[in-house]
Amino acid sequence: MQNAPQDQSEGAAVFDCQSCGACCAYSRDWPRFSLESEDDIARIPAEFVNDAVGCMLSIDNRCTALSGTLGEHVACRVYDVRPIVCRDCQPGDEECLIARRHFGFPV
């Protein structure tokens, strides 16, 4: 999840991640570590990490670091140290739209 709303291409919707959260609750396989160093992962509070699988810990496909209510107001509890995949996801990109459609949010 990104943070601040971003303008999309002309004519497209503008999504506010802080009132969405869909990509953080779409799949337990999504917030997976990739090129993070051991130090990077160590900075994430251990309670939110699934060490055995190498990803963030999810319950019912929702990342445990996500606080709030989907589609209303959400926040990432580990925003400053979140995984690379979370930094890469951009509002309006393919993964974003898949996740938003899954929850019936406008795309």
* The pair of three-digit structure tokens given for residue 89, joined into one six-digit string: 């996801």
The reply to whether 63 sits near ligand SF4 by the rule CB under 6 A is: yes
Burial group, residue 41, by CB count within 10 angstroms (0-12, 13-18, 19+)? middle
Q: State how far Cα 98 lies from the chain centre.
A: 13
The reply to whether 49 sits near ligand SF4 by the rule CB under 6 A is: no
What does the angle CA 15 – CA 95 – CA 26 come to, to the nearest 5 degrees? 90
CB of 34 to ligand SF4, least distance (A): 12
The reply to whether 78 sits near ligand SF4 by the rule CB under 6 A is: yes
User: Contact with ligand SF4 (CB under 6 A): which of 42, 46, 55, 66?
Assistant: 66
User: Contact with ligand SF4 (CB under 6 A): which of 12, 46, 69, 76?
Assistant: 76
